[in-house]
Structure 1
Amino acid sequence: MTGERPKDWSEWLHLAEWWYNTTFHSVIRTTPYQALYGQPPPIHLPYIAGESMVAAVDRSLQAREAAIKMLRFHLQRAQDRMKNQADKKRKECEYLVGDWVFLKLQPYRQQTVSARSGQKLASRWFGPFRIVEKIGAVAYKLELPENSRVHPVFHVSQLKKRVGSEKIQDEWPITDVDGSISKEPMRVIDRRIGRKGNRAVTEVLGEWSNSFPEDATWEILPELKQQFPTFNP
């Protein structure tokens, strides 16, 4: 609109705001106007040219209707453009009960005192696991190992169909209840004396579960034992 009406677009900003606030939003399942005031917005009655006997009023209202049409066109075109871009990354996937699929778990969320290396190369797909039930249109229930602590229902975007006898990762990783991959210290490789602030501390080079040996990191021993009470270095 600023490109088409460079001289007077600012005069119609209130129309753009009104149109946005009275348009149905799929996220909140209502219009922003109704969400704020608790009642539907007033119905806009289009102006028909010639209804007003005053020429200045007639011209102003006709200009308003033209601006509203232009606003509708640009807003709809922007929505269509965003939808087309989003649809490029979508693909229709449907599985049958009994199919074997691989499961993509969430990347590990950092919870320790230092950053981990090599996470981009770590495994993300696990399985295969058998589909035991279809839940709704886009969710499936999997037959997970008994030691899993996550809910067995997953969105189709987290699944990938097994092809032939393809095998990726049999061992179920340590996971949180929300499905993110966890890491726990496995063993201490080396020790050293470090410094934290103005005091000396004991640091250990720890090897972590669900990671490669070269991903071992130096951790402050008291903090490591406080975070993992059952770990005995």
Structure 2
Amino acid sequence: MKGVLRFGKKEKLRSLFIGSFKILERIGSLAYRLTLPPKLTTVHNVFHVSMLRKYVHDHNHVISYQTLEVQKDLSYEENPTMILDRKVHQLRNKVLLVKVQWQNHGRDESTWKKEEKLKTKYPELFN
């Protein structure tokens, strides 16, 4: 499993469902191999039956995927889209922090970064 991408920090699925995918084959009595989109090529494609849910077909349900530009080493560039909040973190010195929302992530996955580092790298965010 070394080098296999997992969903989230604690090796669990971050959201309740990540999408509906076609079953390629049944492996044993409790595992299934699924077809995954290109952005999930580094994820192991065999899942236990307890992780799968039945898909009820709905004509109004349209699944859309965001495309990522992935380099050869399977990495991609993260760019901040907006600053959500500011705060001062006081230890021995005052540190100005900003809460940043990133391009391919939702609001719940925003992170706190040092304002001075972001100002040098992304000055367009602070206009």
TM-score by length of 1: 0.33
Q: 1:188 to 1:204 in 2, by over 3 A?
A: farther
Sequence identity of aligned pairs in percent? 30
Where has structure 1 moved over 4 Å in runs of 4 or more?
190-193
Distance 1:206 1:191 in 2: 8
Q: What residue is the counterpart of 2:21 in the other structure?
A: 129
Q: 1:196 to 1:217 in 2, by over 3 A?
A: farther
> Which of 114, 117, 125 is the equivalent residue of 1:221?
114
Q: 1:217 to 1:144 in 2, by over 3 A?
A: closer
Q: 1:185 to 1:194 in 2, by over 3 A?
A: farther
Distance 1:156 1:199 in 2: 52
> Which of 37, 50, 57 is the equivalent residue of 1:145?
37
> Which of 207, 212, 218 is the equivalent residue of 2:101?
207
Distance 2:111 2:29 in 1: 47
State the superposition RMSD in angstroms.
3.6
Q: What residue is the counterpart of 2:3 in the other structure?
A: none
Give the Å deviation of 1:198.
1.4
Q: 1:124 to 1:218 in 2, by over 3 A?
A: closer
Structure number with larger C-alpha Rg: 1
Residues 203 and 218, structure 1, Cα contact 8 Å, conserved in 2: no
Q: 1:127 to 1:191 in 2, by over 3 A?
A: closer
Q: 1:199 to 1:169 in 2, by over 3 A?
A: farther
Paired AA for residue 35 in structure 2: E
Give the Å deviation of 1:193.
6.4
Unaligned ranges ≥5, structure 2: 1-5, 69-77, 123-127
Listed one character per residue, the Cα deviations across residues 169-218 of structure 1 (whole Å, up to 9, x for unaligned) are 5437x9xxxxxxxxx77334157562331112231121144433xx4756
TM-score by length of 2: 0.56
Q: What residue is the counterpart of 2:73 in the other structure?
A: none
Unaligned ranges ≥5, structure 1: 1-104, 111-121, 175-183, 226-231
